[in-house]
Each structure stands twice: as C-alpha cells, then as structure tokens.
Chains A and B, each alone.
Chain A
C-alpha cells in the first residue's frame, strides 16, 4: 500500500519534471506580470486609496485600510445592479449574433473557391482597425438624420432610430458595432478549427450521399466544438470587459443606458479618484466572470468533442 503510493508520486514527479521546462517561461510571466499586481490590487480594494498617493508607501495601510467597506457599498447600492443588467443585455444580444455570423464567415472562408483569399482579407479588415478609428467612424455612420445607416434604411422605407441617442437603441447599436469588429476574429479562429478537420470524414459522408447542409451539421459542427468552446469563453470574458467602444461612442449615455462594468471601474479609478472602490468593483466583476466560466467548463463535457 505504502509503496504503491510512493511509486505513484514518483511517477508524477517525473512527469512534472518533464513538463516544467515547457512551463517555466509562462510561470515566470504569470508571477511577475499577473500574480504580483493582482495581489496588490486585492490589497487596494480593501482601502480608500485615491489612486494618487504613492502606492504602498510606508504607512499606506494604516492610513487607507477600510476593510470590506468598498464591497459592501457596491453590493448594497443600486448602481452595480443597473450596470450588471446593462452588461447582461449586451451579452444576450451579442453572443448569439456573433456566433452565428462568425460561423457563417468561417464556413464561407473554408471553401476552396476562387477569390476566397480576397474575402479573407476583407473580412478581417474590421479586426485590424483600431477601436479608436472604428468607433469614431461608426459614431458618424450611426448619426440619425445624416448617417449612412439611416440613409440605407430609408431606401427600404424604414425610419431609423437615433441609434446612439435613444435609450432603447444605444445598447443594440453597440452590439452591432462589436459584432462587426469581432466577426472576423472569431471567424478566423473557427476557420482554423475547420481546416483542421480530417478530410476523410467529408469524403466518406459524400459517398453516403449526405448533402452540404447535413455534412455541416453532422461533421463540421461537432468537430468544431473545441474551437466553438474557445470562442464562447473568450467572447463572454470580452463582453464583461466591454470598454473602448463605449467610451468613444456613448460614454455611458444616453441616461446611463450603456454604463457597463469596466466603464464604471475606469471612471471611478481614473476620473473620480476612488481607486479602492474601483478595485473592489473589478474583483466583484472577476468573481462573476469566474462563475460564468466555471459553469461553461463544467458543461463542456456534454458538448465539446475532443478527438482523442
């Protein structure tokens, strides 16, 4: 019994020994660039630090420590829940739309047809454009009376809304712009998953007389699940951290309809000089994202298909 156990451990140690050279760089990077700042940030969240005084100078804790007050204030106030609701509205609209569009793009691009290379470049242009430039451009495209968007809608006899000035439409407008910006990126991720699928499956299916739609449903989709899983997790994390497009296009307005988590965190930290509060806010956000991701990780066994 005892010898069994120690043998098991030795085996494990050997495999950690073989794995460690592969992990060293990442571990060092994790420790310096993430772990240490994270620990400091947790400490800050327990203080009323204004974000200007010298951080962690002698006497810092004695002067600023306030325990869990920030957390209490956030969770008992109304703002947090409003902002959480706005973020959820974004997620519910954005994720399904983005998944559909980017899967369609990946499917289009995976065909070896003439000219597909051109499409591949064009679809990726939004991803390559910086958020600053694209937000500014979209802001003017979406302007109600003179913007191109409503101009095009008018051709079909539809009177477009004040996209960024109407409380009902501001968040959907942000979603549209985000899908436009991200579809190429996630499309590309899905594409690289698609081209990795073994050709023989398709050939076999074709011999069996399966049409293109059946092949897509029965072969492509199931074998694409690892990539889809990645896209789902990453896009969910990104959605919670929605930020630059909001700052440039609406700055949280109209009437707070597009105030979201990171926008609040940034404003509290760098505009209102409440860095302690902002840090607590972001740790609450962290926990929310973590729970969502953990749920997805749990669920992945049910639908993600690793070909091992």
Chain B
C-alpha cells in the first residue's frame, strides 16, 4: 500500500517535471527566434565523428576581457578546426562556489581555471587529472613548478602578475629624496617614507596593507617563512617573522608614515595613491592601466626593496583538467595552446590583459614598449626574486587566520608577538599538515 502511494507520488513528480521542462523550453524559446543576436548552438558540429566540443570555464576574463578570450578561442579553432571550445565566464566572487558545487555534483566542465589558493585544495583532494603528453617547455619554470604536486603536473600557469614598488615622482622631488633603485633596502624605504610624510598632514610615505598576502612576502624578505622547509610544521611566530610584522606595524603605529584606519578615511590604497597623497605603494602590475588613466602626476616603478634578502610576489592562475572528462586529449591541447602558444601570448599582450607565463621573455618585448612606467624592466627583474606562497591544502583557512591576527596587531589591539603566537596556535589546532 505504502509502496504504491510512493510510486504514484513519484509518477506525479515525473509528469510534472516533464510538463514543466517541455513548457520551459518551448515557451522560453519562442520570443527569441526573431533575434539575430543569438548564434545557433554549436551542437551541430557533433555530426562528424572526429569533431569534439569541450567546455572551458573561467573567471579571469570577467570584468572586461571576455572578447580577448573569444579572440583566442577563434584563433585556436583556426588551427584546430575539429575542436570546438565553449567558453563559460563567471564573475570572480562566485566562481569558486559554483565550481565546487559542480565538481561535487559530478558535472564539472572538461577544463577550467583555478587560482593558486584553490588549486592546492583541488589537487590534494584528487579532483584534477595529470596533464601529460603535451609540450610545456615554453612555460616559465617557476610558474610551472607552482602547479606541480609531488612530481605530478596538475595545472598549467595561464598568466602571471607580480608586485613592484610604484612611486609618485612628484612627491619624491618635493621631498628632495632620490628615486628608489633596485638595490634599495627597507631602511632606504623607511627614510624616504619619513621625508615624504613630513610634507604635510595629509601626505603619507607608503601604504603596504598589513594583510596575509603582503605578510608571507615580507617575512621572506627578512629570511623567515610561514612553514618549515618540508611543510610539516608552522613557523608563523619565528623571530624573523615577528621582526617583519613589527616593521610593518611600526610604520602605522610608531613612525606613522603609513595611514591608520582613521587617516585612511575609508579610501582604498589605490585611490589614495591616485589622489597624489601617497609616496609609495607596493602593488600589482595590474594597476598600471588604472594609474595611467587616473594619475595627473609622474610615477614610475622599481623592484621592491628587501631586507636581508629580496623577495617579490608572484600571482598566477592556472588551468586544469577534469579527470572525468571524455575529451581530455582535446582539452589538454586547448590548455597547452592557451598557455604557451605565441599567438595566444600576442593576443593577451595586445589587449593589455596580463602577462603570459612564458620562459622566453623576448616574446614579451612589446610589453616593455608601453609607458608609463618607464622602468618597465623592473617587472621582469622582479621575477628573479620570486617568493612562492606557502601552498598547503588548507590555504584559505590558514590565510584567514593569519590575516585576522595581523589586523588585530595593525590596529594595536594585540602586540605583534601575541598576535603571531595566537595565529601559530590557531593554525596548529585547526590545520593538520599532511
């Protein structure tokens, strides 16, 4: 009795669902047939057996570069007419939520893009396929290694960005300080920052956000690290790290060459730099475009100063393969072309998007010709000092814990030492390093 009821219920559901799907597609489609804007779905290309269609999902082209990516796809399909690439672009904020849902639900696309934080989790949890059988020699080795887990290449670096010291030439001139050079140390930076701070109440020397992302790089400049060598234990509260954090915090609380939250007044660091009130800002090369458009003063860049050693940021997104994809070979071909072909690099540079992670810097010559900044070589020079983020499985959790305690140290509610001790304890309690 109960069973029949259940069955009839299920039958009802099925009928309802089918009715709705039918009505959904038909009435949904009718108003659109008269529009020329919608191209016919590419399913027709499946008629010939050797033709394959792959889906590529990405976030990097959102916010302005969808057309650039489409150009790349078109160029790729000229070379490989039998592979059709269907692109899905999703905004950055929700990309990872939806990708995780699709992966867990078993409907991940053939290939997709990940940032470095999520890459570690996906790779360690066995969600990615090894990328093999393709030529990756053209790719930058450091970048390539970032996506190699225990000897297996799970991802290809798609593009990279790094951080340089951007400075306001006019403020340096006013303060009578020499411009930063590649052999500057933190002491030179501090002296210059103080001279610029003296120019006025509203003018600040530097703004280096006291956040996790800055922190892991600055500790490297002081010879420290967040993890021990073989990534089996945290070393967040090591003496070098405390020294590094102290230097950052003192700029706000002691010498005040960097604005505190009240002095920031809700302004972002870029906005403050663009308004001409900030002498120096260590920030990503993706700021060039915006600064060129919005700064009415002269500015240039330099390699970031180090302390005991130099260390610079490296940010890279990667592209990965779904192990359950039926078209892994075609997908790998597309990924290799996207990341390492000259044609794709050209399109990327033309659009001023970001830098392809190629080993051969000559391919990037056209990039150097654009000014400002005049000292564009500093972008490549910085690559000699790359500090890789300490990629572990629980990367996001670690970075949030550390970030939270750094914020407490930065506004003076905790001493630097207490904050880092607490961060160390929290990370040890919540994260097991395998």
B265 to A146, Cβ gap below 8 A?
yes
B407 to A271, Cβ gap below 8 A?
no
Which residues B313-343 have CB closer than 8 A to chain A?
A: none
A255 within 8 A of B: yes
The answer for the CA separation of A143 and B264 in the assembled complex, in Å, is 10
Which residues A24-39 have CB closer than 8 A to chain B?
A: 24, 28, 31-32
Q: List 7 A-B contacts (CB under 8 A).
A: A54-B106, A146-B265, A164-B266, A253-B404, A255-B404, A273-B100, A274-B397
A273 to B408, Cβ gap below 8 A?
no
Q: Inside 8 A of A28's CB, which chain B residues have their CB?
A: 9, 12-13, 16
Q: B-side interface residues toward A, CB under 8 Å?
A: 9, 12-13, 16, 96-97, 100, 103-106, 121-122, 125-127, 261-262, 264-267, 393-394, 396-397, 400, 404, 407-408, 411, 413
Q: Which residue of B lies closest to A54 (CB)?
A: B106
Q: Inside 8 A of B264's CB, which chain A residues have their CB?
A: 165
Q: Inside 8 A of A145's CB, which chain B residues have their CB?
A: 262, 265-267
A98 within 8 A of B: no
Asked whether A254 and B411 contact (CB < 8 A) given A54-B106, A55-B104, A271-B396, the answer is: yes
Binary contact readout A119-148 vs B (1 if CB under 8 angstroms, 0 otherwise)? 000000000000000000000101111110
Asked whether A52 and B13 contact (CB < 8 A) given A162-B261, A270-B100, A272-B397, the answer is: no
Asked whether A52 and B266 contact (CB < 8 A) given A256-B404, A270-B100, the answer is: no
Which residues A222-272 have CB closer than 8 A to chain B?
A: 253-256, 267, 270-272
Beyond the given A55-B105, A253-B407, A271-B397, could you list 17 further A-B residue pairs with CB under 8 A, ordered by the A residue number? Answer: A28-B12, A52-B100, A52-B103, A143-B266, A143-B267, A146-B265, A146-B266, A146-B267, A162-B261, A164-B266, A165-B261, A166-B261, A254-B407, A267-B400, A270-B100, A271-B396, A271-B400
Q: Inside 8 A of B106's CB, which chain A residues have their CB?
A: 54
Shortest CB–CB separation between residue A207 and chain B, in angstroms? 54
Asked whether A147 and B266 contact (CB < 8 A) given A31-B9, A54-B106, the answer is: yes
Q: Inside 8 A of A165's CB, which chain B residues have their CB?
A: 261, 264, 266
A272 to B394, Cβ gap below 8 A?
yes
The answer for the CA separation of A270 and B16 in the assembled complex, in Å, is 33
Chain B interface SS verdict (over half)? helix
Which residues A12-32 have CB closer than 8 A to chain B?
A: 24, 28, 31-32
The answer for the CA separation of A261 and B127 in the assembled complex, in Å, is 29
Q: Inside 8 A of A193's CB, which chain B residues have their CB?
A: none
Counting from the closest, the 4 A-B pairs by CB-CB distance are A143-B266, A145-B265, A272-B397, A165-B261
Q: Which residue of B lies closest to A49 (CB)?
A: B104
A24 to B400, Cβ gap below 8 A?
no
Shortest CB–CB separation between residue A195 and chain B, in angstroms? 34
B407 to A255, Cβ gap below 8 A?
yes
Q: Inside 8 A of A274's CB, which chain B residues have their CB?
A: 397
- Central interface residue in A144, A165, A166, A273, by most chain B CB within 10 Å: A273
Q: Inside 8 A of A146's CB, which chain B residues have their CB?
A: 265-267
A52 to B104, Cβ gap below 8 A?
yes
Q: Which residue of A lies closest to B126 (CB)?
A: A53
Shortest CB–CB separation between residue A82 and chain B, in angstroms? 12
The answer for the CA separation of A272 and B395 in the assembled complex, in Å, is 8
Q: Inside 8 A of A147's CB, which chain B residues have their CB?
A: 266
A70 within 8 A of B: no
B127 to A270, Cβ gap below 8 A?
no
Q: Which residue of A lies closest to B103 (CB)?
A: A52
A50 within 8 A of B: yes
Q: Inside 8 A of A142's CB, which chain B residues have their CB?
A: 266
A255 to B408, Cβ gap below 8 A?
yes
Shortest CB–CB separation between residue B307 and chain A, in angstroms? 28
The answer for the CA separation of A31 and B13 in the assembled complex, in Å, is 10
Shortest CB–CB separation between residue B117 and chain A, in angstroms? 9
The answer for the CA separation of A146 and B104 in the assembled complex, in Å, is 44
Q: Which residue of B lies closest to A259 (CB)?
A: B404
Instruction: From A31, A253, A267, A273, give the contact of B394 (CB < 8 A).
Output: A273
Shortest CB–CB separation between residue B426 and chain A, in angstroms? 10
The answer for the CA separation of A56 and B346 in the assembled complex, in Å, is 45
Q: Inside 8 A of A172's CB, which chain B residues have their CB?
A: none
Q: Inside 8 A of B397's CB, which chain A residues have their CB?
A: 271-272, 274
A50 to B267, Cβ gap below 8 A?
no
Shortest CB–CB separation between residue A253 and chain B, in angstroms? 7
Q: Inside 8 A of B9's CB, which chain A residues have their CB?
A: 28, 31
Q: Inside 8 A of B12's CB, which chain A residues have their CB?
A: 24, 28
Q: Inside 8 A of A272's CB, which chain B residues have their CB?
A: 394, 396-397, 400
Q: Which residue of B lies closest to A28 (CB)?
A: B13
The answer for the CA separation of A144 and B266 in the assembled complex, in Å, is 6
The answer for the CA separation of A146 and B271 in the assembled complex, in Å, is 12
A50 to B261, Cβ gap below 8 A?
no
The answer for the CA separation of A308 and B161 in the assembled complex, in Å, is 69
Asked whether A270 and B262 contact (CB < 8 A) given A31-B9, A52-B103, A255-B404, the answer is: no
Q: Inside 8 A of A273's CB, which chain B residues have their CB?
A: 100, 121, 125, 393-394, 396
Q: Which residue of A lies closest to B106 (CB)?
A: A54
Q: Which residue of A lies closest to B393 (CB)?
A: A273
Q: Which residue of A lies closest to B91 (CB)?
A: A132
The answer for the CA separation of A147 and B266 in the assembled complex, in Å, is 8
Instruction: From B96, B266, B411, give the contact of A255 (CB < 8 A).
Output: B411
Q: Inside 8 A of A267's CB, which chain B residues have their CB?
A: 400
A52 to B122, Cβ gap below 8 A?
yes
Q: Which residue of A lies closest to B127 (CB)?
A: A52
